[in-house]
Amino acid sequence: MSSALSLPDAQAQLLALAQPLAVETVAADEALGRYLAAPLHARRTQPPADLSAMDGYALGDTDSHGPWRIIGESAAGHPFDGPVAAGEAVRISTGAILPEGAQTVLLQEDATREGTTLTLSGDAPVQGRHIRRAGFDFSEGQALRDAGIKVTPAVLALTLAAGHATLPVRQKPRIVLIDSGDELAADPTQCARHQIPASNGPMLQAMLASLPCTVTRIGPVADTLDALAAALDAAREADLIVTSGGASVGDHDLIRPALEAWGAKIAFWRVAMKPGKPLMVARRNTGDSEQLVLGLPGNPVSSYVTAFLFLLPLVRALLGSGQPLPTQAQTVVTADLGAGGKRLEFLRGIWDGNTVIPLSEQDSSGLHALSVANALIERPAMGAAQAAGSPVRIYRLENG
């Protein structure tokens, strides 16, 4: 039996298998939450002309302290038609185009107007202040964002401002979740003594809801090769199949033999981490493409942690993300931590923005503690004991 992979090695091997899906072009607002499949370049200059950054008056000279004769108005979307000369002023609003010849904006609170006469009543204007120069944000042809970045609301606004109505993105992955186990009850209100409610499938689907993908759930599936074969056949059109349970080495852990009988090849199995050691990755060549299979442990906390560290990064990679792995943060632990074991361990904890405290319950089936936790505390394998106040690394979760 081969030794378990380290977490970084397992993640690297998994992501190496994840070829981004085909590119499609969609309306810019439909690309929200997806990842750019090509660099974003500006098709126009922003702003296209010198604009006023404040409400006030555009002046035809700088050195003079007035008075000035008001000759017109420049409003956003309605520029003043003509030049402004020395001794003249144009009423101007925020975002309006600066008239030809104007290099100074006098704030309205520093001015007094009587009819068409404008006089200085506050701070003297300074040439160039309160002006947004043409192209200060970006210029036509400029590279704005790289391929692989996520289309956030701000990126969407940038896309439209840059003159794009559509964006190239990767197709949404088709994902099938298969829950397996004779002990699972589909209806949590009808659960016999020998059963537990099937919670992993809905939990994993909820975790995937933050990503643009289509998800189908199958199960609970009985612990038989025939039942698993039928479930796998029903998922034959999926880009990614995710199983939960049955990935270990017990007599009733049949995911691996079922996959091999289906024609899938095991890429790697077992990761030196706790919880989540019995993680399995396989692939199946369908002729036109390659399906990936991610086998997660059945214990719900193990399933959650491995989904966070493997499933979500894998889906991001299929979507073309340039940074699919979750990022860590440094903080301080508020309780003593014992020496690390033989495997990298992730403790559930509560992070308050400054410090993190590990929860007392760390069993891999403890959903109550998982629901309270909003952080995973990383404990290196064979790491020394740490006293309260020591620095630790965490992953932030959306629970708690």
From CA 308, how far away is CA 326, in angstroms rounded? 8
CA 372 to chain centre: 22
* Greatest extent of the chain over all pairs of C-alpha atoms, in Å: 94
Q: Where are the domains of the chain?
A: 7-22+172-318, 28-45+138-170, 51-132, 329-396
Q: Are 347 and 379 in contact (CB under 8 A)?
A: yes
Q: Which DSSP category does 271 fall into? A: B
Q: What global pTM score does this model have?
A: 0.90
Q: Which DSSP category does 44 fall into? A: S
Task: With CA atoms as reference, report the closest residue to 108 among 69, 49, 58.
Answer: 58
pLDDT (0 to 100) of residue 254? 85
| Distances from the Cα of 16 to the Cα of 110, 169, 260, 348, 353, angstroms | 63, 20, 21, 29, 34
Q: For strands 88-92 and 68-74, give the pairing.
A: parallel
From CA 232, how far away is CA 271, in angstroms rounded? 24
- Which residues fall within 8 angstroms of residue 193, CB to CB, at 6 or more apart? none
Task: Give the pLDDT of the chain (400 residues) as one tens digit per residue.
Answer: 568 999 999 999 999 999 999 999 999 999 999 999 999 999 999 999 999 999 999 998 767 788 999 999 999 999 999 999 999 999 999 999 999 999 999 999 999 999 999 999 999 999 999 999 999 999 999 999 999 999 999 999 999 999 999 999 999 999 999 998 888 888 888 888 888 888 999 999 999 999 999 999 998 999 889 999 999 999 999 999 999 986 655 545 788 899 999 999 999 989 999 999 999 999 998 877 789 999 999 999 999 999 999 999 999 999 999 999 999 999 999 999 999 899 999 999 999 999 999 999 998 888 999 999 999 999 999 999 999 999 999 999 987 6
Residue that has been written with the tokens 């289309």 in this structure: 151
CATH fit for domain 329-396, picks 3.40.640.10, 2.40.340.10, 3.10.620.30, 1.10.260.40: 2.40.340.10
pLDDT (0 to 100) of residue 213? 97
Read off the pLDDT of residues 328-375 as tens digits, 9 standing for 90 and up: 999 999 999 999 899 999 999 999 999 999 999 998 888 999 999 999
* CATH code at 28-45+138-170: 3.90.105.10
- Which CATH superfamily is 51-132 part of? Molybdopterin biosynthesis moea protein, domain 3. (2.170.190.11)
From CA 230, how far away is CA 234, in angstroms rounded? 6
Q: For strands 273-274 and 344-351, give the pairing.
A: parallel
What is the assigned CATH class of domain 7-22+172-318? alpha beta
pLDDT (0 to 100) of residue 248? 56
> Looking at the DSSP assignment, which residues form a beta bridge with residue 37?
none
Supply φ then ψ for residue 167, to 5 degrees. Answer: -140, 145
